[in-house]
Amino acid sequence: MSSPKKKSKKPAKPKASPAPIPTETGVIKQGTIAKFMRKRTQLVGFETGLNKHTQYSIEFLDNAIDALESWWWKTKRRPRLQDHLDSKVVEDVRTKLEEGQFDTIAFSKQLERNIRAGKEVDTLTRRKETIEERITEFRKFLAPLRPLLTKREPLVVIELKEIQMPDLVPIDDEDGFKVYEFTCFDTGVGMVPSDLEKYGIYLASSKSEKLRQTRGSQGFGAPSAFSDAQNTTGKPIFTVSKRFTSDEATVTNFYTTTANTKDHVGGPIDLDLPFHHGTFIKLFYLNIQYRRGYADIYNEMASLLNAHVTIIFIDPYGKVHIYPRRVNAFPEEPKYAQPHPASIRIGEFQDLLRETRESDLRGFLTKAFCRLSSNRAKKIVGNASKDLRRRHLDDLKMSTPTDTLSKTEVELLYRSFSSEDYIAPPTDTVVPVGEEVFEQTIKLAYNLDFTTAVTRTPTSGKGLSFAV
């Protein structure tokens, strides 16, 4: 009997590799603060409307007065100031400034009427200016201010003009939009070239890392103003700045970008220009027509609280408002402040604990806050330890490392910390205008028969000291 034949095995076909399962990519992308804020300048006040004119004054006047105070506190060669600015000098400067002024709003309205009446008007496209031409304009701008510059007067000048850019906005625009030329000049501390390069970049600030009484600190105001100016007109920002220790000024014409950098279209170049120190800024923005009672009132009110500087505001009507310096001394330089424990919230407490350079609780509590002594710190740690023992947890000690605390330990430590009563913040971190100075300023400004001022005891909010 023959054996059955074995079936020959066919070679197996190679198996196809399984198709790769596509990996789904995420959809969340990280943007830049500059790109975010470029489209949202209204979040910091640059929204179309009458208040937008005021917002430009707020941002740059605050920066200018900070720069003036910084110069006064840093310089070793302070000028000898009279008790108040000489009225003859004021009138001399006023006369010189008024010579080149005209009512830009009336001129604009006349052009509108002529266009609607079918009359021919000169609507030539505004020619692009070179940096050399802008420097020439800057020299002309300084000429009427010479009596103040030679005396090294603490000075801020803000000028606002309505101008025509028919290639950008029709003169008879149905929505009523107008182009404004905004100029700010101060005789403050000035910027070194490296700081000028960062100026206008979001979150670039000399004052945001420490707590100190200043007007501007976060690095949002000027960058948002520059963004609004570029968003609405597409024109670059022109700046001139001269450090008080420098012989030359740095001139630059630039755009800021959504990458939070600068795109220079002119400069930076260093030049010898006829002023001692300070900063000059010129930009253009779009808004509805200017009206009295907004930016002009803000500048007037600011002059009452800053009687140690001379403020000049030239409005689009061509009117020159001069608010002369009324005292001969600047406020004392405020000291850097530590957070006051009375108004620290749990999240802020956690952040401070996370970021501290102190290795133990003793160092953290006594050095991260003002008005918190070693004895008070010991009491805080002791009370937190009592709560921990009730939960059958280990005590805290003054020597406990700050980076070993559990969530529960931090919460109980904060509960003990926040339940304490603390004395008021130190007064050397808050420098109010002063009752005597404020009364004198009000009397000189308005020729009143009677005035009085009261300063409240310093207190704190969100960890910051303040006084009213």
Per residue in 32-49, pLDDT tens? Answer: 777 777 777 777 778 899
Separation between Cα atoms, residue 183 and residue 201, nearest integer Å: 19
Higher pLDDT, 117 or 309: 309
Count Cβ neighbours within 10 Å for each residue of 68-94 and write b for 16 or more, e otherwise.
Answer: bbbbbeeeeeeeebeebbeeebbeebe
Number of continuous H segments (helices) and E segments (strands) in the chain = 14, 10
Rounded to an integer, what distance in angstroms lies between the CA atom of residue 131 and that of residue 238? 8
Give the model's pLDDT for residue 25.
72
Q: Which residue has the higher pLDDT, 439 or 417?
A: 417
359: pLDDT strictly greater than 80: yes
CA distance 310 to 156: 6
What are the tens digits of pLDDT across the range 50-83?
Answer: 999 999 999 999 999 999 999 999 999 999 999 9
User: Going from the N-terminus, what domains does the chain have, and what CATH number goes with each?
Assistant: 35-323 (3.30.565.10), 341-418 (1.10.8.50), 427-466 (no CATH)
- Residue found by looking up tokens 């505001």 in the block: 313
Percent of the chain with pLDDT strictly greater than 70: 86
Name the burial class of residue 254, with classes exposed (0-12), middle (13-18) and buried (19+) by CB atoms within 10 angstroms of its CB. buried
Structure-block tokens of residue 359: 């290795």
Check residue 422 and give its pLDDT.
87
Mean pLDDT of the chain: 87
pLDDT at 7 over 70: no
Contact status, residue 202 vs residue 34, Cβ threshold 8 Å? yes
State both tokens at 242: 């001269």
Contact predicate 294/302, CB 8 Å: no
What does 401-445 look like in DSSP terms, one character per residue? BGGG--HHHHHHHHHHHHTS--PPPPGGG-----HHHHHHHHHHH
3-state secondary structure of 47: coil
pLDDT in tens, 177-187: 999 999 999 99
Question: How confident is the model at residue 244, as a pLDDT?
Answer: 97
What letter does residue 167 receive in the DSSP assignment?
T
Confidence of residue 432 (pLDDT cuts 50, 70, 90): low
The helix-helix angle for 221-233 and 50-74 (nearest 10°) equals: 140
* Mean pLDDT within 388-413: 95
Neighbours of 18 (CB within 10 A): 6
**Judging by DSSP bridges, how do beta strands 310-314 and 155-163 pair with one another?**
parallel
Say which residue the tokens 């000489």 belong to: 86
Threshold 0.95, pTM exceeds: no
Give the N- to C-terminal CA distance of the chain in Å, as an integer: 120
Mean pLDDT on 106-130: 82
Does residue 268 have a cis bond before it (omega within 30 degrees)? yes
> In the chain, how long is the greatest CA-to-CA distance?
141
